[in-house]
Chain A
């Protein structure tokens, strides 16, 4: 595994539980941040939600298990799951290798896009990490 270098892309919004959101057409893509995958270590298992499931902002929607720990994945916004990333089930370590790209976790149709206003932008998230 080539672990990714630390980065926090500027086009994402960040949740304090270390989840990111990217707008993609009418839908949004969720994943976990570099900080989260680094803290978790080598990811070995992804327990995703069902397609069609309703997920709620700030509540867990799935689990990632690493060789060190199990971690809930928190929804940065509410909505309906339209897809889960099958590649993460096949090769969970892509979450470590490419947390913002191939390692995305779910696609969601948001029920209230204004919830995104609560999230941090890149500078705010970096400042938040610096305070941890």
Chain B
């Protein structure tokens, strides 16, 4: 077990490598109940969220979700999250470590006609991820609706008799769903999924990290922080820069026009070794940045990572050196994702 944002979480159930492979080739089940759920409703909910979040909330209607960010007025990232539009409210799925920060920001900035409720304490969340996710879900779904979801769509249904919100989202790069249900029903939901034919492998936090890193998905606290904007992190696509009246838009608009000194790069080592967060990046022998996340890619069997580097080096095919505990290791920047897979099927 490991401690993560105040939660005790399994690092792995069998081995991280086997769990990683299960998700890429078959399917795996993650307990991600640490994630937070905030609901926003009321006549001014959409207007309020269009200012509080970077993406264009008006672009999603009921049953749809989008990746988005919450930023400070200076563009620093408070959290990255998924916003879902439901029939009568918006649901924001936020990072465990940032529930309080998001709540505080929304309480401070949402207009009077938008109501905020924190559903995190009573909500559990399981992620069923991998190419055979639908085979595991099919025998348990009350209706075919969850099986027909498009990427980033969400629907309410019962799974194994447990009322769930089912979203076609995830953090692995594989197709799959995330299931949110009442806290006390989660064990029954987990057990039912584990009992189906072709049951998913239980997957822990280490494989969750290696899977997302192979895709180049950022993690709050590693790639994302209040010290960096979405533009520096390569997340301009999740920011409605043109239309945006969101908090932080002015700074980001300027960064898009003028560029930023640093940009987030993804890289792989070209020799044996494992880069880790905090290690220094050298370019032409000089300190040029630091690794935000690093691991051994179970799919590629090479060290991979992400790092903030001078913007000109953040594009693919630049040579870097990573100082791995005093040993210089050659690396080359690459294109996301590092593995040929897509969550869209």
Contact = CB atoms under 8 A, between A and B. Distances in A.
Contacts of B2: 68
A40 B68 CA distance: 37
Given A44-B17, A44-B296, A67 B12 contact: yes
B14 interface: yes
A93 B14 CA distance: 12
Given A44-B296, A45-B296, A93 B17 contact: yes
Contacts of A1: 14-15, 17-18
B286 interface: no
Given A67-B206, A68-B11, A42 B16 contact: yes
A27 interface: no
Interface string B1-35: 01000000001101111100000000000000000
Which of A1, A67, A93 has the most chain B CB atoms closer than 10 A to its own CB? A67
B273 interface: yes
Contact of B273 (A42, A47, A67, A68): A47
Interface string B231-253: 00000000000000000000000
Contacts of A44: 16-17, 274, 296
A65 interface: yes
Contacts of B296: 44-45, 65
Interface string B295-332: 01000000000000000000000000000010100000
B304 to A, nearest CB: 13
Interface string B249-291: 0000000000000000000000011101000000000000000
A49 interface: no
Interface residues of A, number: 13
A89 B14 CA distance: 21
Contacts of B272: 45, 47, 89
Interface in A89-125: 89, 93
Contacts of A39: none
A47 B272 CA distance: 8
Given A67-B206, A70-B325, A45 B273 contact: yes
Contacts of B325: 63, 70
Which of B11, B15, B272, B274 has the most chain A CB atoms closer than 10 A to its own CB? B15
B222 to A, nearest CB: 16
A42 B274 contact: no
Contacts of A89: 272
A93 B15 contact: yes
A41 B17 CA distance: 12
Given A41-B11, A44-B296, A45-B296, A67 B274 contact: no
Contact of B274 (A41, A65, A68): A65
A77 B327 CA distance: 25
Contacts of A45: 272-274, 296
Contacts of B16: 42, 44, 67
Interface string B42-57: 0000000000000000
Contacts of B276: 70
Contacts of B206: 42, 67
Nearest to B14: A1
A89 B301 CA distance: 11
Contacts of B14: 1
Interface string A24-54: 0000000000000000011011010000000
Which of A44, A45, A47, A70 has the most chain B CB atoms closer than 10 A to its own CB? A44
A45 B304 CA distance: 13
A4 to B, nearest CB: 13
Interface in A62-98: 63, 65, 67-68, 70, 89, 93
A89 B16 CA distance: 17
Contacts of A63: 325
A70 B273 CA distance: 11
Nearest to A46: B272
Give the 3 A-B residue pairs with the shortest CB-CB distance, closest first: A1-B15, A67-B206, A67-B16
5 contacts: A42-B15, A42-B16, A44-B274, A44-B296, A67-B206
Given A67-B206, A70-B325, 15 more contacts: A1-B15, A1-B17, A41-B11, A42-B16, A42-B206, A44-B274, A45-B274, A45-B296, A47-B272, A65-B274, A65-B296, A67-B16, A68-B2, A68-B11, A93-B15
